[in-house]
Amino acid sequence: MDAKEKNNKLDIKVKLSTLWIVVMINVAMADIFNFMMDLMSGNTTPGVQVPQIGMLIFAIIMEIPIVMILFSRVLKYSANRWANIIAGVITTAFIILGGSLNLVYLFFATVEIVCIAFIIGYAWKWTNPEV
Cα 27 off chain centre by: 8
Average pLDDT over residues 7-13: 73
Q: What is the pLDDT of residues 65-87, one digit of tens each?
A: 999 999 999 999 999 999 999 99
Whether the per-residue pLDDT at 64 is higher than 90: the answer is: yes
What is the phi/psi pair of residue 17, to 5°?
Answer: -60, -45
- Structure confidence at residue 90 (pLDDT): 96
Q: What is the pLDDT of residues 16-52, one digit of tens each?
A: 999 999 999 999 998 888 878 877 777 666 667 778 8
- Structure confidence at residue 2 (pLDDT): 61
Mean pLDDT of all residues belonging to the chain: 88
* Dihedral, CA of residue 100, residue 64, residue 54 and residue 107, to nearest 10: -10
